[in-house]
Amino acid sequence: MHYQWTAHFIAGEWEQEEGEQQIPVENPATGEVIATVAAGDEKHVDRAVAAAREAFTRWSAWTVEGRALLLDRVADLLEERREEIAQTVTAELGAPIKLARGLHAALPVSDVRETARTLRAMEFETEVANSRVLLSPVGVVGAITPWNYPVHQVVSKIVPAIAAGCTVVLKPSELAPLSALLLARIMQEAGLPDGVLNVVNGDGSAVGQAIVGHPGIDAVSFTGSESTGRAVAQQASRTLKRVTLELGGKSANIILPDADLATAVKVGVANCFLNSGQSCNALTRMLVPHEMLSEAEEIAAATASRYLPGDPADERTRIGPLVSAQQRENVITAIERGLLDGAKLIAGGPRRPAGEDLPDGYYVQPTVFTQVDPDSALAQEEIFGPVLSIIGYADEDDAVAIANNSRFGLGGAVWSTDVARACAVARRIHTGQVDINGGAFNPAAPFGGVKNSGYGRELGRAGIEEFLYQQSVQL
Ligand code: TXE
């Protein structure tokens, strides 16, 4: 496949200088370099910020309906170009093509449609006593995104920002930038005015830090690791920027004694292994009543054995490689540490998966541990690979205590045939999201975390409000 959009996108122009440094983009299934993208620096960020500032005056003056209509066109084009987007995500991330079509390329269409719908329903002017309260766009937004959902995560930031009337400087992940650049091209084709969205390629130290420190940027929205999130918040404090952080997670899946155990375990394993375990809200800790532990272990091991790592381009593949050699090393180290810490391995392990046809890429075995100590590294650290930890609990209070025994607070799940009981347990879990009995991701609902999972929300009304400020006008 030829990737045409590999330059920076600034003020509506695709720019690449002669002899500019390049970043190689690998196909993680093979390790082969499939494209190179221009590597930017602070000069590119300066130009992108200038373009975004200039465009802001005009874009923020567009009517709400005008902006919503433009987003409708973006959604239509994203829908038309789904196959191209899916193929690109499969190539740069290693996501199985079925998942790329059904999730990576499909979810952004819903994200954009829901944002347009929410925008139309919002009140930008309300009255309280002698005041008129106006909601106004904060200005230029810097968006820094990771590689694991390379289109959805970009869309979750830039579309609500643009909907709010802001303009954007985006730095996509250097590991998977191709689908973000394709998205920028699609938005340009949909008629987004020049300078409203600008994309600068590059790594965190050259381009990410230039965005976070730039005095011409008013707000930064970051998704990535906990440690980088902390660095971003610190650096942003020097210019007192508004910051949204969507960081890691170690989410608990509480299976209550009255749940349909087979379904809960199977869906729980599938959730943990989704996207090769590279999801911030993955349910990586499965909490099971002590007396049901051996049955749950059997079901989990049998389910895991059906996840055979394969070529992501093959329609039958359910689990592909990890994104990079570094990520594979991190995951193998975590599995080895789990073994040393005394957890019981019931599926997978640290060795490379078998399979003669398996491409030579960054594969690991889908792995399940049981009898995991809730305080051990396996249960506390975000692994970001297909590694599930099963933990036994005594009663509901114990389950809630284990679930909350985490420095993260992103996702969670509860399974019970009694939905009211499950919801009561969900209220006691200190996280931004909880899914009951496999409840589906909702692109109209606010998404984000508490504790070390970050602050601020993406999507829904709250996602747009991240990029608005209130102005009270007294009459
Ligand atoms: O993340 P980074 P990485 C977690 C996951 C994974 C680990 C490392 O546990 O194993 O993070 O992944 C840019 N200033 N998550 O190294 O470094 C960087 O270029 C500004 C969870 O990919 O946080 C990229 O665009 N920007 C997560 C983005 O930040 C900087 C998703 C994320 O990179 C920067 C991904 C800096 N100083 C990883 N340094 C989730 N919450 O879903 C780097 N960047």
- Give the Cα separation of 368 and 271 in Å (integer): 13
Give the pLDDT of residue 102: 98
User: Which tens digit of pLDDT belongs to each residue from 298-307?
Assistant: 999 999 999 9
> Is residue 94 pLDDT above 90, yes or no?
yes
Q: How far is the CA of 228 from the centre of ligand 1 (A)?
A: 6
> Is residue 16 pLDDT above 90, yes or no?
no
pLDDT average, residue stretch 148-177: 98
Q: Is 272 a catalytic residue?
A: no
Q: How far is the CA of 263 from the centre of ligand 1 (A)?
A: 33
User: Which tens digit of pLDDT belongs to each residue from 188-206?
Assistant: 999 999 999 999 999 999 9
Catalytic option among 26, 92, 174, 246: 246
> Is residue 115 pLDDT above 90, yes or no?
yes
Residue 17's pLDDT band, with cuts at 50, 70 and 90, is: confident
Tell me the β-bridge partners of 135.
470
Listed by start position, the domains of the chain span 8-247+453-474, 252-442
Q: What percent of the chain shows pLDDT beyond 70?
A: 100
Give the pLDDT of residue 19: 87
Q: Is 166 a catalytic residue?
A: no
Average pLDDT, the chain: 98
| Architecture, CATH, for domain 8-247+453-474 | 3-Layer(aba) Sandwich (3.40)
Domain at 252-442, CATH from 3.40.309.10, 3.40.50.720, 1.10.10.10, 3.40.50.11540: 3.40.309.10
pLDDT average, residue stretch 111-115: 98
pTM for the model? 0.98
> Is residue 356 pLDDT above 90, yes or no?
no
Residue 357's pLDDT band, with cuts at 50, 70 and 90, is: confident
Tell me the β-bridge partners of 284.
none
User: Which tens digit of pLDDT belongs to each residue from 294-341?
Assistant: 999 999 999 999 999 999 999 999 999 999 999 999 999 999 999 999
Tell me the β-bridge partners of 169.
142, 198
pLDDT average, residue stretch 166-174: 99
Which protein residue has the closest C-alpha to ligand 1 atom 41?
Answer: 247
Residue 208's pLDDT band, with cuts at 50, 70 and 90, is: very high
- Give the Cα separation of 445 and 458 in Å (integer): 8
Residue 241's pLDDT band, with cuts at 50, 70 and 90, is: very high
Residues enclosing ligand 1, CB less than 6 A?
Answer: 144-148, 171, 173-174, 203-204, 208-209, 212, 223-225, 228, 231-232, 246-248, 280, 327, 330, 382, 384
Cβ neighbourhood burial of 397 (10 Å; 0-12, 13-18, 19+): exposed
